[in-house]
Amino acid sequence: MLDPAAVPDVGDEEILARFAIGKRAVRADGTLKDNELLPPPSGKLSVMRHLEATEQEIWDEGREVARLRAKELVGRIDLNSGECRRVGLQVIKAPLVADPPSKPEPQRRLANPNHADLVFPTAAAIPTTPMPKADQMAIAKALVANGFRVIPPPMDTEKKTPAI
């Protein structure tokens, strides 16, 4: 993982993981559904940078995201930061700090210095307003146009099930 005290800006050719959470995130052919790349109202879609992270650390973060949402981690897709920028997204570092111990355990967030955001453009006329959903969908479709297959999580060798 990156050093939390020295997190660099996201480079143009970094690999970014977007976790597929819940069975509805994936089509029957194993590709990610377009709407899984639509941003929340904030216009920022969370991803994890591979930079200086091990496969184990990447999957641990996916399990953490699934735990916080109380859903199953079904896999991840890996995106290229340069391609994200080519379709009009900003890719910015957004390290997460751990929640304080006073926060209840089920909702307590662990630190992730490798967290980044894909920032969707805003509406041209009103900079604080998200762009229309149809335009957001066009960007999402452009990102998944290559038919990204969802990479399943590693199997728990004892139970023969995804390690969650």
Digit-coded pLDDT (tens) for 82-125: 999 999 999 999 999 998 888 887 788 889 999 999 999 886 66
DSSP 33-96: PGGGG---TTSEEEEEE-TT--HHHHHHHHHHHHHHHTS-EEEEEEEEHHHHHHTT-EEEE-PB
Rg of the chain on CA atoms, in Å: 16
Residues in the chain, overall count: 164
Digit-coded pLDDT (tens) for 31-64: 889 889 999 888 899 999 999 999 999 999 999 9
Helix count and strand count (H, E) for the chain: 3, 7
